[in-house]
Amino acid sequence: NAGVTQTPKFRVLKTGQSMTLLCAQDMNHEYMYWYRQDPGMGLRLIHYSVGEGTTAKGEVPDGYNVSRLKKQNFLLGLESAAPSQTSVYFCASSPSVVIEKLFFGSGTQLSVL
């Protein structure tokens, strides 16, 4: 019972490099989210999706892009990484329009040097 799986778990980038974080869920959930977690700031919503083929901006979308080509996958891209994007990234999914429970992945620790 995998739930929400994030890859990779750790990554170190140099400023200006690009990368894609993959989130996969096997629960047939409609809603998927990308958050970043920074000390003293809690979790902040980057982008979210309310269904296959849809995406929307969250609280801190600048410097990130997302895609939801398949219902089970939600990709987060950094086109040109900056040190300010050093953070822990969490993917989450939810089954319904009323959030009763978010299911979180175990996180990706990203360092941008």
Residue 20 buriedness (CB in 10 A; 0-12 / 13-18 / 19+): middle
Per CB under 8 A, does 42 bind other proteins? yes
Per CB under 8 A, does 98 bind other proteins? yes
Which of 47-53's residues contact partners 24+ apart within 8 Å by CB, and which partners?
A: 47/76, 49/74
State which residue, 17 or 71, has the beta carbon closest to other proteins. 71
Residues 19-38 touching other proteins, rule: CB under 8 A, are 31, 35
Binding site for other proteins (CB under 8 A): 4, 31, 35, 40-45, 48, 50, 58-59, 90, 92, 94, 97-102, 104-107
